[in-house]
């Protein structure tokens, strides 16, 4: 049963494997080519303890222009970028409770968009579920660290044109979304996210041109508000009973 659960977790994490290796390498290359003195060790430490691709991509610019970022501004940006994880974690408050404290903290820290997407689809129970969730989190975490280190090593060895390379993150989100849409008959959450993002993008095009890097937060807030309003209609009978 142990090996069967570990194998199932690995298979479930395969889409993230390809995405995290690619996106991690993109981050590592940016870090090595744009931050003086950064290397594979720097990438490994950042990826092991931060576990937030969006924050790490933003951190490249922060490290490159450190004089423009105070400690307070850095903290605010980190909060804004990662606040969604607090929302993601709410469904797992009861699920993570039986874990020993170190593992519980690890699972909380290792919760990412892609890991959340995989773990919320699982219907296991008891010890089998706890092992599965830990393995998915651990595998995804190691994929990210490995990709980041490989990218940093390559970035120090080979000159790269890094223009547009940070699009790897957006591409990964699209891959995970398509995979979820294939597995689920309810496509309303994906449709809401797409429509809201398009609407917010239109607002920025008209009223705030040149500030597209700030559209993520309002788009997320509006999407979450709509989904919370539709929560009961979106839940399956099994989820309602749980």
The helix (H) or strand (E) run that includes residue 22 is helix 14-34
pLDDT of residue 121: 78
If you average pLDDT over each of 23-27, 28-32, 135-139, which comes out highest?
135-139
Largest CA distance in the chain: 57
Cα radius of gyration (the chain): 19
* The pLDDT value given to residue 134: 92
Binned at pLDDT 50, 70 and 90, residue 239 comes out as very low
Query: What's residue 44's pLDDT?
Result: 94
- Cα end-to-end span (Å), the chain: 25
Q: Which residue would you say has higher pLDDT here, 58 or 153? A: 153
* % pLDDT > 90, the chain: 14
The CA-atom distances, in angstroms, between 168 and each of 7, 23, 28, 230 are: 27, 5, 12, 31
Domains in the chain: boundaries: 2-167, 185-242
Condensed to tens digits (0 to 9), the pLDDT of residues 203-225 reads 888 888 876 666 766 887 788 78
Is residue 112 scored above 80 in pLDDT?
Answer: yes
Instruction: Quote the pLDDT of residue 180.
Output: 63
pLDDT score recorded for residue 135: 93
CA-to-CA distance for 136 and 116, rounded, in angstroms? 10
State residue 88's pLDDT score. Answer: 73
- Non-local (6+) Cβ contacts of 48 within 8 A are 141, 145
pLDDT digits (tens, 9 = 90+) for 183-208: 666 778 778 888 888 898 888 888 88
Give the pLDDT mean for 73-89: 76
Q: Is the pLDDT of residue 179 over 70?
A: no
pTM of the model: 0.68
């Amino acid at each position: 049963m142990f090996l069967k659960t570990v194998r199932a977790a690995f298979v479930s994490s395969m889409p993230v494997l390809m995405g995290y290796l690619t996106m991690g390498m993109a981050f590592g290359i940016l870090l090595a080519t744009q931050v003086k003195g950064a290397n594979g060790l720097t990438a490994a430490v950042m990826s092991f303890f931060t576990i937030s691709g969006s924050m790490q991509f933003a951190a490249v610019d922060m490290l490159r222009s450190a004089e423009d970022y105070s400690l307070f501004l850095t903290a605010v940006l980190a909060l804004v970028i990662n606040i969604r994880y607090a929302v993601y974690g709410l469904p797992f408050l009861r699920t993570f409770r039986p874990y020993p404290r170190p593992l519980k903290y690890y699972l909380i820290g290792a919760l990412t968009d892609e890991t959340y997407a995989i773990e919320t689809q699982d219907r296991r129970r008891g010890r089998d579920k706890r092992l599965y969730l830990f393995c998915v989190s651990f595998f995804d975490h190691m994929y990210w660290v490995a990709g980041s280190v490989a990218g940093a090593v390559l970035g120090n060895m080979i000159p790269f044109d890094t223009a547009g390379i940070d699009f790897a993150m957006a591409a990964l989100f699209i891959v995970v979304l398509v995979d979820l849409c294939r597995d689920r008959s309810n496509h309303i959450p994906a449709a809401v996210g797409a429509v809201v993002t398009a609407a917010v993008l239109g607002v920025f095009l008209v009223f705030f041109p040149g500030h597209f890097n700030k559209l993520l937060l309002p788009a997320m807030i509006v999407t979450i508000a709509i989904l919370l309003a539709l929560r009961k209609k979106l839940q399956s009978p099994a989820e309602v009973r749980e």
